[in-house]
Each structure stands twice: as structure tokens, then as C-alpha cells.
Amino acid sequence: LEDYLREPHTQTRLAQASHVHLAMPIRRSLAQEMFPRLRFAGCTISLDVGHHKRWLQDPENEDTCREVDFFFPNEVEGRIMCGLSDPEEMLKKLTAKGIPGLILKLGAAGAAAR
């Protein structure tokens, strides 16, 4: 899928959208390549990487999270990223790391946003 996202034709088509949602862990290098092009075209971007522990633990990927408009971790993923278990504390810590548009998925309890 990453090779597909790197293709100029794919990026041109994505840049025609008003919003692009990525439901996958995205390599930092791909984010650095693709996000500026999408931004220049006026797109907003959201990211839900799913449960990919290594990706969530890599501090380099926090830069990717800071570059999207909306980031959607669940409680378990938030715990992996910041070592906290209280949702409100997770929101505070991740927001303090400069992650905008944070939406913490809380399962049956809904979601919390900051």
C-alpha cells in the first residue's frame, strides 16, 4: 500500500480531496513526502494507525501525529504512547506533545477530544 501512496498519480488524486484519512501506520518518510503536497492542495488529514506498538513507541512518529489535523488513538494505543492509563491524563500529555485534533477512542464509553 505504501508503494501505491508514493506514486505521483495517487498523490495527485488524493490532493483533489478535501480530506484524506489514513487508517494505517505511515512511515515518517512517506508523511514528509505526502503531507506537504496534500496541505498545499488544501486537504485536511486524519490518522488512525491501529495497534502497531513499535510505530506508537517511536518518538519520530510523534512528528507525523503533529502534522495531521486529527489523530485517533484508542485507550490502549494512548497508553503505549504516553505510559498513562487515565484518559484525561492521556489527552493532556499527548496534547502537551503538540498533537492537535486528538480524539481518544474509548470503546463503549465513546470518545474524548481535545
According to the model, what pLDDT value does residue 49 have? 96
According to the model, what pLDDT value does residue 20 have? 98
What are 19-69's pLDDT values in tens digits?
999 999 999 999 999 999 999 999 999 999 999 999 999 999 999 999 999
According to the model, what pLDDT value does residue 1 have? 85
Concatenated DSSP letters of 25-56: ---HHHHHHHHHHHHHTT-EEEE---S-HHHH
According to the model, what pLDDT value does residue 18 have? 98
What are 81-108's pLDDT values in tens digits?
999 999 999 999 999 999 989 999 999 9
**What residues have CB less than 8 Å from 30, skipping those under 6 apart?**
2, 5, 6
**What residues have CB less than 8 Å from 99, skipping those under 6 apart?**
62, 65, 66, 71
pLDDT band at 15 (very low <50, low <70, confident <90, very high): very high
What letter would DSSP give residue 71? E
Beta bridge mates, 74:
105
pLDDT band at 114 (very low <50, low <70, confident <90, very high): confident
Instruction: Using alpha carbons, select from 72, 82, 29 the residue that is nearest to residue 51.
Output: 72
Angle at 51 between CA 40 and CA 94, to 5 degrees: 60
